[in-house]
Structure 1
């Protein structure tokens, strides 16, 4: 779709889900996802966003256990992780198609011997449009997940408009955010784990997502997870450590002018729902379009390597052979100073 002909007159309804997993169970957590999709659709939502690595659960154990002691829990996460494609992705795809709803879902993805923090985006017809991996796991997460690459930094044409997504502290990488902004995302889907660090994390999430909405001139639909006190006790019996597995929840929907479009959810399970009026994007960008009239590509440009990284490249195929080996296919140019390159 030509970005100069985007429809800014439409209105859609979005839902951000704050929800707790069924700890240690991929299948039962998937059932909660399917139930929430149906509930969001019943409320008229055309887009539903779930928390970071929600299936089977965020690796909270890595936040409270030293690496030398977390092998058992790490292995259990391997056993319950999601492969793509699988029965889990088939079930979510069927639900998206059945309810004609776009689904953004965080999963622990298992790819043979590695785990990744992955975001799956299903269109309203059930098509899995994108599987993207968090480009840099944060601090304790580096003992759990591998790194993603630039292949997932894409804005997608979906049934609800041009949609992009990042997970958690990827929002502290301004160039990652700019790569989506320059592709003219209209809706940005953000995911955080929730139930971490306390109120300071909830406050930081609020600042982060509102700033992105203002800077990008887009809507932000943000989902965080939640743990009950009983679930916290399942993760650790140390009362001092239990205190750091609380708070940090801020499920919210933000407009292009940085305002909340519905009350945020900061505790317990629930669903934030709001109508997104795309004319507000134009209203914001008329004043400040950070990838248009307010940009200076003659001074500042972003170079994005959107090539999927591989451990093995078959050099028997010449680099000019773009038909039999898409790895060497030329990459499209993105406007407003965002360029593609191969390394």
Structure 2
């Protein structure tokens, strides 16, 4: 059987959220999906925590001033079955495209526990993979919980074998290797619009743009994959919200940090780490790139770190994909047995039960 190497057009959305409004952000995502599909894209990629926005406040002021923002984020957090996710899934099906969406995820198990998550949606609207960021980075620990490895997977699709990591996970060599070892061909990297680490008058501030360039290039080169990078964008509404933090001096200080911190960039790299087409940073937009997965093959002749360019007698990696739940209840076994016996319909995906399309 001849190996098939898919070719397709990818779209990276360098876009702002409708800050802390999941439904309106989902509407914006649908518009971007429609535009990208009209331009021939088969994969549309959104930034980290696009739905409903990145919690940049955790970087700008002490936690004692952030309770209102945290409550607002929790209120807009989405479970996989919630309306905003459903809306985007229907848009993916309507336009027949794959969609990678960063979102803040909630749970029925808690009114305050949330995750930094991502879903890969298929062209039929089905959820193909669901990933939670393994470890929130720096001040993100004040907002999001640790994820698990349930979604540390490469998904076989009609456009190739697709994997993804969220922001700082692209600095984690073991997480990256786990995807390489599953035959990844197309990698998705999602980032925030801004990631402040120091006051603007101090030296040594984190350069998000440069960090993205280094990480994206490293993974594309080491894994021999196409790397599609989508970062968020700071719009006037997000800036205004951060300027309203606490009393006037706090808001002014927050805006000074924001205005003088490097922005994230969106781009696409090929398996040699060369940038394909334009790079977006200073304005919103959609960038496109032609992907030919056959180009992943030749570079493997030089370094195949999951093949003959490794020493498996020396190194060993084991990944535990167990879902980490807060409790396990015994009646679950009875329900499972009932489902197996046909006494219960375990249909998990009722996305289109109402006939919506």
Q: TM-score range by the shorter chain?
A: 0.7 to 0.9
| Cα pair distance change 1:324/1:219, threshold 3 Å | farther
Please say if residues 160 and 293 of structure 2, whose CA atoms lie closer than 8 Å, have aligned partners that are also in contact.
Answer: no
Residues 142-157 of structure 1: pairs in structure 2 closer than 5 A: 142-157=141-156
Larger deviation: 162-171 or 23-32? 23-32
Q: TM-score, normalised by structure 2?
A: 0.84
User: How many angstroms does 1:274 deviate by?
Assistant: 0.4
Does the residue aligned with 1:233 lie in a helix, a strand or coil? helix
1:40-189 matches, within 5 Å, as 40-112=36-108, 113=110, 114-189=113-188
Distance 1:94 1:229 in 2: 29
Superposition deviation, residue 84 in structure 1: 1.5
- The CA deviation string for residues 85-113 of structure 1, in whole angstroms up to 9 with x for no partner, is 11212211111111111000000111132
Q: Secondary structure at the match of 1:150?
A: coil
TM-score for the superposition, normalised by structure 1: 0.88
User: Does 20-29 or 33-42 show the bigger shift?
Assistant: 20-29
Q: Determine which of 18, 30, 34 is the counterpart of 2:26.
A: 30
Whether the 8 Å CA contact 1:64–1:236 is kept in 2: the answer is: no
SS of residue paired to 2:131: strand
Unmatched 5+ stretches in structure 2: 197-204, 245-250, 339-357
Pairing 1:1-343 to 2, within 5 Å after superposition: 7-8=4-5, 10-112=6-108, 113=110, 114-197=113-196, 200-229=207-236, 231-236=238-243, 238-245=251-258, 246-314=261-329, 324=337
Q: Residues 290-327 of structure 1, C-alpha deviation per residue, up to 9 Å, x if partnerless?
A: 11121211111111101111222357999xx9x859xx
Q: What is residue 345 of structure 2 aligned with on the other side?
A: none
Greater than 4 Å deviation, 4+ residue runs:
314-318
Give 3-state SS (helix, strand or coil) of 1:151's partner: coil
Evaluate the alpha carbon distance shift between residue 153 and residue 48 of structure 1 in structure 2; reply closer, same or farther with a 3 A threshold.
same
Distance 1:173 1:13, change over 3 A: same
Q: Is the 8 A contact 2:271 2:299 kept in 1?
A: yes
CA distance in 1, matches of 2:137, 2:76: 21
Contact 1:247-1:266 within 8 A present in 2 as well:
no
Instruction: Check whether the contact 1:22–1:28 (CA below 8 A) recurs between aligned residues.
Output: yes
Partner of 1:335: none
RMSD: 2.2
Greater alpha carbon shift after TM alignment, 240-249 vs 165-174: 240-249
User: CA shift at 1:243, angstroms?
Assistant: 3.5
**Secondary structure, aligned partner of 1:235:** helix
Q: Provide the C-alpha distance between the structure 2 equivalents of 1:155 and 1:243, rounded to a whole number of angstroms.
A: 40
Q: How many residues align?
A: 319
CA distance in 1, matches of 2:63, 2:190: 25
Residues 10-52 of structure 1 deviation map (CA, whole Å, 9 limit, x = unaligned): 3111010000111121111111100000011011000010000
Secondary structure at the residue paired with 1:27? helix
In 2, the alpha carbon distance for the partners of 1:206 and 1:199 equals 13
Q: Please tell me whether the aligned partners of residues 102 and 159 of structure 1 are also in contact (alpha carbons under 8 angstroms).
A: no
Task: Find the counterpart in structure 1 of residue 342 from structure 2.
Answer: none
Contact (CA 8 Å) 2:43, 2:97: kept in 1 or not? yes
Asked whether the equivalents of residues 196 and 244 of structure 1 are also in contact (C-alpha less than 8 Å), the reply is no
Quickly say closer, same or farther: Cα 1:186–1:73, change in 2 above 3 A: same
